[in-house]
Structure formats: structure tokens, C-alpha cells
Structure 1
């Protein structure tokens, strides 16, 4: 599955919506740009006027006065340019920060089923490479593009106001440049789209290889992974080379055509001045306007290329928002804590069901263990109960309300899932715990850590709860990370908790101690334990046995052992391991 890519009109409207959030900054930037643009066109006009005065005969004092005015204008231009750039950078930083915050919000509210189906590469590429690509445009490009547009418009307006016929010559390069830009755009847009997609592929390959390095080493897959990486890098090289060729062509074509206006004005002036159609000052002013236009238009061609790259990245970033939610909130509130699974079937891929008509009623406050061979559908059923995947058919309800009709916050207040895949977020121990409950007190955090047997090692850390952990800081062991994850869930306090082999990374003795501590901490709550160690089933109130996506047995440990069926066989085999 590929994440959506926003259409160009949506990119423009969404980006404009972000920019409009900062009206005061926009107004400040525009005022400085307008005034700076007006001052820019004043200097060539004053130079031309001075030349006419010199030709006609004037005093040294008059020349000095003009030079002082020109100097003052240049100084004012420098000051306005500095202030304009300062406020533009503030504006750019504000816009960029808003884009990042919006993206983080969209990613963290994306259905987990979509995240898993899309894979890590595409999402990582959008949150890293694509966001980096737009940073330069937002922080520097917006200001420069606004400045260029105002400068070009005001310069052309001044030229036509002074000498309309000569000013027409300044339009000469625009006609061929239109054809150049059309040629460039037809190739640049798909080129940059392919480039961004390939960067996402490379991110996925790299992330998968690093995260699963132990598997790569164990199966001697280094050469295979290196070859896959080489192919991806080669494809990126080819795409980068292609877009670089487009950039070089565009920039050189613009430079070539922008040299013509000043030359054409000079040639026309050689005829117009002797025949009395224009003065030396007017011709000089128009020629200077032509030179003055060449710099912003040349720079504009550079920003056109940056815009294409950034627009492609923005389309990928805004595309994250187009992922359809897998839940539609109905506003109904559960009338009880009872979770019911009714005739649930589920397919990860069409025509490949992994659950078949599962029925299960969870009794509030009980501990239910789900056991069965690998691939029986235990984890999938757990994810159904946690509301991560909507069932293909059937329903999973809490208090009579389907889980897919609850908002994210309502779902997490009712049901939560802990898997064997743990994650320690960058920050302090307290930060990691407060993800579950932002207003948690120090006493509450120590209480849940103690209940998980983690208080002792947290107390031994240099700064206790304020110790920084995660990437670039203290690295927790897998067992410590699992304790932290479980403490976070206990602090969240849902009434139903699904544990999908949540203690599998611990040794059996430590795992059983933690599960007993967890049982005490979760007393009165409904717990679904997907078990790979059968003592979990032994300690549970009831046991559900799954085979081939179906519940084939359901009862207490003693009942199922006495029945002599599938569970009895599993228990006997586990006892003799």
C-alpha cells in the first residue's frame, strides 16, 4: 500500500491555509518588500535624470545633491532589505514549525493498520527527507520570491511609465522563457516525484536493515542487503542526475535570454537619441532597468526549480492527511465495560481470511488467556479487541458500542494493547510515563513503577525520573523498556488491557514475577493475555484455544485439561519441555 499524494490544487490551498495563520507577519513582510521594491527602481531613474542634467549643463552642487540622494537611497535599501529578511525568516520559521506540527499530528493520528500496510520507508521519507526539502524554501524562498515578484512588477511598471516603446524591449526574453519553462515543467514534476519516492524506498531499506541487524547477521544476509541497497542508491543517483540536468538547462537558458534586453535597449537608443525620440538619461534608465531585471529573473529561475522539488514534497506531506480514518465516531457512549466479539472475520488481504466467525464474550474483571500454535490468529484477535483493525465482518463492541464508532481518545480510555515490541521515547523517564497521562503526579509515577518492579532501578539512575533515556541518552535494557511500557499502560488506566506476549523478552522467572505484579496492579480490570508461556494460561480465569483462526476450546485451565483436547495436548507438551 502506498500513502496518498495530494493533488497540486490541494497543495496550493493547504499551503496557503498554513501561511494565512500568520497575518501580522505576512503584513509586515509585504510592507517591507513593497517599500524596498519602490526604492530599488528609484536609483536607475535618478542616475538617468542626472545624466540628462549633465548633458544639458548643471552645477557641481546639483550633481552632489543627486549623489547624496542616491547614496541615501542605497543606504535605505540596505536597511529595508535587512529588516525584510529578518521578518521573513521569522515568518518562514513560524510556517515551517506549523508544517512540522501538522505533519506530526497527522502521522500520530493515522490508523495503525494503514501505517503497517504502507511500511516504514514511505512514512519515514515524508517525515525526514520531504520535510527537509521544504525547509529551505519556507525559511529563505518565500522571502526571496516575494521580493523578486515585487521588484519585477515595480521595475516593469516604472519602465513603461518612463518610456513605453523602449520598455517593450524588456519583454523580449519572456516569450522564449515561457517555452523553456513549459519544457522544464513537463519533465521536472514527474522527475522530482520519482526522486522522492525512491528516497522513501531507500529510507525503508536502511531502516529495516538496521532494525533487523541481528536477523541479517544470523541468516548471513549482508551481501543480499548490500546489493538491495546498491540498487536503490544507483536509482537515486540516476534520478538526481536527471533532475540536475534539468536544473542546469533551465538556469543556463534563463541566463542566456536575460542578457538580451539591455543590449536591445542600447541598440534602440543608438537610433532614438540622435533622432530625438529619447534622451541619453531615459535610454540609460531603461537599460539599467533591463540589467536590474536580469538578476531577480535569474534568481527566480533557481527558485522555480526549488519550488518544483518542494511542491513534490509538500504533496507527499499533505497526502498524509488524505488517509481515510478507519473509524467514524457516532457519539454513543458505552453503557458498561463488557467487551463482546461477535462473528468476527478478518482479512489482511482480500480472499485470505485469518479469522473465521470468532465469538467471544469478555467478562468484566476477568483474565482471559489466548493460546494456540503459531499463526493461529491470536495476535490478530488481540488487535481486533484493541480496536486497531476494524473487522472485515462481524463486530467488536464495548458496552454495546462498536469500537470503530469511538474516537481515538474514547477507545484508549476503554481498551489498550501492549505488545512485545517496546519503544523508549527520547526524553526523561517521566516524559515517557506522562505520554499516557500528561497530568500524572510524581507520586502516581513512582506508584506504577513500583507496581511493575521498576522503581528500584529507576531510583539508581543519576537523575531518577528526570534521567534522559532513548536515542543519544541512556539505553534501557529490553526488560527495563518493557517494564516502562507496562507502567505507562497501568498509568493510562483502561478498563480492558490486551497483553500480546508483553513479557516475552524477559527470562521466565522475571516474566512470571512481573505478570503477577501486573495482575495485582490491574485487579478489577479485564485482561486478555496472548500467551506463549502456558503458566500464564494456568493463572488465568479462563483460557481460549485458537487453531487456524477459530476458537476451538474455551474454559478454565482445569476444565480444558480434563477435557483432553487441544489445550491438554499443549499443556502436556509444555510440561515436558
Structure 2
């Protein structure tokens, strides 16, 4: 998808993995140390068994055989105990790393600019937070520790082979060209294949969520066939992507299986020939063959988890890519000279201004065309106009959600573009038709903007938006649990809750994007009047279709086709007889 969030490159993924390793040196050392001891204990038995075969061929005593068998049994037990503790250490390390990954990913998601989330859509973000996190969880918990164990075991076995007899280590090298060629072929194709597979899942999720959310619209407009066609196309792309990665595995696995069986067969055959030539004893051949046979399991696990690493690596790249998404406000930041010349906010009047701003969701398709608007500090400014005229887009520019493609939006002379988000929200805040009730108490939902607010301030904020009476009437008052699984709130109550948060946040400018659209007109009018009284001396920019908001405003800006066509008070615009007057007469009857 063209609007999908970016994906981190290989260098970024490797840097992050190295950083994770540096964060946990003790845990990693403990896990590797225990696995090394376990692997070392497992290497003793083949050597003892080889010596035993050699001794039996030369007529060793029965008591010696008993002692060797007892020693082998003891080392097997020791290895089993060490393996248990090694796996526990690896699991603890994996869980700590996974917890950090999840926490950091949540931080990255919450730091995403609102404009980025809106542009990317829900499908890609949902897939990353669900499927990619689950895939990475398996990689961190199992693939990482198992790969380290397998690699360490292979090195120790090869070392034991060399110590047993350097010549007997040579047959094992026959597997290297086969495994190297097969692995190289696979690794050159797998990363991009799995990235395409995950992206295809994002498309499916996005299509399904759109279909479910717009089910009534789809039915009313008889668009079911188009939605089915979109779903079928997404599934076909996903099928093709999965078929490609399956093809890679069907080629790689037989090559790999042949490669890791070569050492054992070659050692047995070539070792036997070495014994016939007198270059190796029977005990050495036996031990070397057992060591070569032991190589099969770790190499099989190593190559087996390699595929899982490709899945996990692709998921990690997508998760890290969330942080790589640049904020368009930062991209449009003022130049150093402009920032140096701009006055600070301390003691500012809270004057918000837009000068000759343009904005395009797609390059070359402007939705705002050179708009200039300067709300007066403390005034109530209403923006009205037909749907699609650009009212909400202009409101988002004034709230600092989007940065203009051209022109500037400033507060007290300072560009909003590039201003730290925490500082920006002390100047101007946006509340739209969309609202969310978080899981928790009603009081927590209001106080989330100022966690240090005392109960009196929370009550005052609710009272300001005419919500205190119904809030106190809830089963547990302000301590009533709301949100998913909690006490249900009506759409009007949820909107009042969102407005109460803004009252408590106390910015000097509010942009209300049809914030009272879901409340019946009488309740909305009472709420807006109450809000205006509480916010006296602050700037309120209200975007609405209902003209009672414009009637109560100090000034009205009429937006049409991405331009401000009229600007003035209600009475002035009615007297002018323009488009606003026509709207007013039509609405007022």
C-alpha cells in the first residue's frame, strides 16, 4: 500500500539487535555459559564410547567397561540438568527482551502524529500490532535462544572432532559448500518475500476493517460486489506472497537436509578407509562418527530456525519502521533563522494566525488554496460551509495536526510546524466528532490530560460541559468504570467527556471540529454556551454545519472550495446577502 508505514532497513535492524545484546550482557553470558557447559558434557560420552570400543577390540577388563558405562551415564545426567537450567536462563532473557520490545513499540505507536495514523489507515497498524508482534514474540522466545545454542554446539562438536583426529574432521567440511550455496540462495530472497507477505496481510486487514465499519453504507449504496472484489484481490495477493515464500522453503529444506546428513555419512565411509590405511584407530573413527552424527541435530535446528529468523526479522523491521515515519510537521519546520527571529511563547497573547496556507493530501491536488485567517485572541470564530469545502482540513492546520504545504501557521509569531507536541498542546488543542472512552474510571478519563489534577478540578471540568449531574448519577459516581467492559456511555456523554478533558487541559485556543454533532440541538446549544462561558478570554474555533453555532459566534468564516469566501459577524454576513445569508434563510425557514 502506498500509504503504509515505512519499514526499517537491514542496517537499522542490526543496530537495534546489537543494542539489545548490549543491554543484557549478564543474562546473555549466563545463558551461553550454561549451554556451553551442557554441550561440553554431551561431548564426553562419544569420546568415552570410542575409547571403550578401542579397549574392547584390544581385550579390556569387564570392570573397566562398567566404569566407562557409569561415567557415560553420569555425564548424560549432568547434561540433562545443565540443559534444563540453560533453557530457563534463555527463557528469562527472552521474556525480558520481548517485554522491552513491546514497551518500546507501544511508545512508538503512541508517538505517531495523528496525521500519520489517518494517512496510513488502520489495516497496516493493526497488522503490525498483532501479527508482527506475535511473530517477533516467537523469534525472541524460541528462535534466538535455540539458534545461539545450536551455533555454540556446532562449534564445540567441531572442536571435539579436531581433537579426536584432524583428518577425521575433514569429511565434515564436505557439507560446507552445499549448505553455504543453499543458505545464500535463500537469504537473498527470503527477507523481501516475508515483507511482501506481511504487507499483504495489512491489505487484507485494512479491507476487512473498512468493510465492517462501513457495512451500512456498503449495503445502502449496493457496493457489496465491489467490496467482495477488493477482498478477493487482497486474498490473491496474499496467496501469491505466501506461495512465493513456500517455494523458497521447498527448495531450501531438501538442500539443507542433504547438507547436514553429509558429515555423518562421509565420516563413516572416509573414516573407515582411514582406519584400513592405518591413519586412524577404530576408537577415533567411532568417536568421530558419533560426533558427526551429533552435528545433525544442531545444524538441523540452526537451519530450521533460520526461516523463523526471516519471519521475525521482517516483523522487527516493520515494528522499527513505525519510529522511522517522519512527522510532516517536522518536515515542514521553520528555518533556523525563522526560529531565531520568532518570539517566545512566554507572555504571548495566544494569537493564532494562518497566512496564505495551502494543503494537499496528494501532491498536485490542493484542498486549501492560499487561505489567510487570523482569529482574534479570545473570540469565538465559527467556520461553516458545505461538506468537502476544506473546513476540517483548515481546522487541523490551525490545531497543528497537519503542516501546510505552503504558507505558515503561527502562534504568537512562532511556527506550529516543528514545535514540540507537548508545547503545542498548551497553545491549541483539537476535539473532533471522533472520541474515545478509555478503560478506567470516569474521573481517570477526564484527568488523563492532567494526572495531577485534584477531584475538585475534575468536577469543575465536568460541570463546565454540563456533565456533572449525569456523572454523579452513575452507579459509583466518578469512580464508575467506563470504556470496554465498563458502564456504557451514550455518544453525547462520551463527547461531553472529551470536551471536559479539554477544559481541564486549558489551552488558550480550541478547535472544535463538529464536536457537538452527535448531541441533539438543544443539548448542543446548552453545552456550547456553557463551554463558551468557561472559556471566556480564550479563542474558540468551531467547525459545524449547524448555523446556531455561527449565530452565537463573534465572527463567521464561510469556507467553499478550499477558500474563505466570506468573513464577518453573523449580522454583517446576513446583511451582505451572500452565500451565508442564503444558508441562514434556508436553515431558519
Could you state the TM-score of these two structures normalised by the residue count of structure 2? 0.92
* 1:239 partnered with 2:241: yes
Shift, 1:501, TM fit: 0.2
**1:519 aligned to 525, 532, 540, which one?**
532
2:72 aligns to what?
Answer: 70
Tell me which residue corresponds to 2:207.
205
Q: Which stretch of the first structure deviates more once superposed, 496-505 or 111-120?
A: 111-120
Listed one character per residue, the Cα deviations across residues 338-371 of structure 1 (whole Å, up to 9, x for unaligned) are 1122222222223322222222222222211111
What does residue 384 of structure 1 align with? 397
Aligned mate of 2:448, from 435, 438, 447: 435
Q: Do 2:358 and 2:368's aligned partners in 1 also have CA atoms closer than 8 Å? A: yes
State the match for 1:368 in structure 2: 381
In 1: Cα distance, 2:441 partner to 2:98 partner? 26
Q: CA deviation at 1:295?
A: 0.7
Structure 1 residue 166, shift from structure 2 partner: 0.9
Q: Distance in 2 between matches of 1:500 and 1:305?
A: 49
Q: Which residue of 1 aligns with 2:98?
A: 96
Residue of structure 1 aligned with 2:510, choices 497, 500, 522: 497
Q: CA RMSD in A?
A: 2.2
Q: For the Cα contact (< 8 Å) 1:169–1:265, is it kept in 2? A: yes
Q: Give CA deviations for 1:363-390 in whole Å, capped at 9, x if unaligned.
A: 2222111112222221111111101111
> Are the aligned partners of 1:181 and 1:250 in contact in 2 as well (CA < 8 Å)?
yes
Q: Give the equivalent residue in structure 2 for 1:572.
A: 585
Aligned to 2:15: 13
Q: Where in structure 2 are the equivalents of 1:149-188 lying within 5 Å?
A: 149-188=151-190
2:324 equivalent to 1:334: no
Structure 1 residues 66, 463: CA separation in 2 closer, same or farther (over 3 Å shift)? farther
Could you tell me how far 1:262 is from its partner in structure 2? 1.8
Partner deviation per Cα, 1:220-244 (whole Å, 9 max, x = no partner): 3333323322332233233223322
Return the offset for 1:502. 0.4
- Asked whether the 8 Å contact 2:435–2:498 carries over to 1, the reply is yes
Q: What displacement does 1:311 show?
A: 1.4
Residue 282 (structure 1) aligns with: 284
CA contact (8 A) 1:430 1:465 kept: yes
Asked whether the equivalents of residues 464 and 503 of structure 2 are also in contact (C-alpha less than 8 Å), the reply is: no
Q: Deviations over 1:375-433 (max 9, x none)?
A: 22211111111011111222111111111131010011111001112223344434433
| C-alpha distance 365-45 of structure 1, shift in aligned 2 (>3 A) | same
How much does 1:494 deviate? 1.1
Aligned residue pairs: how many? Answer: 576
1:137-193 deviation digits (Å, cap 9, x = unpaired): 011111101101100011111111221111111122221121212222233233212
1:114 Cα shift? Answer: 2.6
Task: Indicate the larger mover: 197-206 or 544-553.
Answer: 544-553
- Counterparts of 1:150-549 in structure 2, within 5 Å, are 150-325=152-327, 326-327=329-330, 328=333, 333-335=344-346, 336=348, 337-549=350-562
Asked if 1 retains the 8 angstrom alpha-carbon contact of 2:426 and 2:508, the reply is yes
Question: In 1, Cα distance between the equivalents of 2:356 and 2:261?
Answer: 75
2:110 to 103, 108, 111: 108
Where do 5+ consecutive residues of structure 2 fail to align? none
**Aligned equivalents of 1:392, 1:269: Cα separation in 2:** 74
Cα distance between partner residues in 1 of 2:43 and 2:251: 30
Structure 1 residues 105-159: Cα deviation after superposition (integer angstroms, max 9, x where no partner) = 2222223223322222222222222222111001111110110110001111111
* SS of alignment partner, residue 453 of structure 2: coil
Q: Cα distance 1:465–1:43, how it changes in 2: closer, same or farther (>3 A)?
A: farther
Contact 1:427 1:468 in 2 (8 A): yes
1:29 corresponds in structure 2 to 31
Deviation at 1:205, TM superposition (A): 0.5
Give, in whole Å, the separation in 1 of the partners of 2:169 and 2:8.
41
Aligned CA distance change for structure 1 residues 348 and 268 (closer, same or farther; 3 Å): closer
- 1:260-282 per-residue CA deviation (whole Å, 9 max, x = no partner) reads 22222222233333443222221
With the length of structure 1 as denominator, give the TM-score of the two structures: 0.94
**Shift, 1:464, TM fit:** 4.0
Change (3 A) 1:213 1:463: farther
User: What CA distance in whole angstroms lies between the structure 1 residues aligned with 2:361 and 2:70?
Assistant: 77
Instruction: Tell me, yes or no, if structure 1 residue 41 matches structure 2 residue 43.
Output: yes
Deviations 1:433-492 (A, max 9, x none): 343223333333333223323334433444444444334544433222212211222222
Contact 1:18 1:99 in 2 (8 A): no
Q: Distance in 2 between matches of 1:191 and 1:475?
A: 45
